[in-house]
Amino acid sequence: MTRTYGFPVPNWTPPPTPTGETLQGRYARLEKLDGAAQAGDLFRSNAVTDEIWDYLPYGPFAAIEDYRAWLDTMSDSADPFFYAIKNLETGAFEGIASYLRIDPNGGAIEVGHINFSKPLQRTRAATETMFLMMKWAFDAGYRRYEWKCDALNRGSRAAAQRLGLSYEGIFRQATVYKDRNRDTAWFAAIDKEWPALENAFQSWLAPSNFDDSGRQLQSLSSLTALVRVASDPQLES
């Protein structure tokens, strides 16, 4: 019988864990989560709608004191490791996102706990946030960048695909949160796909890709479609 093995990964060196360095873009700046400095902006931005909490295992928070206490706890966490997102157009912190399930030895890292307030959604700052987080991970040496979400969260599945992450399937009855079942949809990009994905993001984020009204001339999904190795079948239906 022929014995087969995975391809060699010579001289593998585990990448560093996130350090909290500021991730600076043209439209967004990501700063390490700090409840004392960011709670006011974030709470006001989140108050626009409670829907942003539907697929998260916590929230909504009725009082800023409760939200600040939660932010303080998350600020001290190494995994998940949280960033607050400043929309440079408005000058306000309008969302958070984290790295989690950080596995330097295996070279895998996940992005999650993504909570974009209504004002941040569908903005260039929101897309650039995801680009900056992906860029840091691959530049640091991670081989695999993961995105997981409730399989019923069609918006999150569409976002993952738009960003160029390939669909990898459904883990049935993966967990329970808020007293309900969650089947988990898996997406990922790997290091060999990153150069093409980085080019796609840079092309989309370029000022020349937007008209005077801020409308995109070329969609990100059309650029990343050339890189994805598998599409989400639910989004085709």
| Model confidence pLDDT, tens digit, residues 106-122 | 999 999 999 999 999 99
Structure tokens at 153: 């969260």
Q: What is the pTM of this model?
A: 0.96
Q: Which two tokens stand for residue 85?
A: 């997102």
Single out the residue of 79, 74, 78, 81 nearest to residue 42, CA to CA: 74
C-alpha separations of 14 from 82, 143, 172, 219 in Å: 21, 10, 31, 35
* Between 237 and 35, residue with greater pLDDT: 35
Tens digit of each residue's pLDDT (9 = 90 or more) over 177-193:
999 999 999 999 999 99
pLDDT at 237: 64
Q: What gap in Å lies between CA 156 and CA 67, rounded to an integer?
A: 23
pLDDT tens for residues 198-210? 999 999 999 999 9
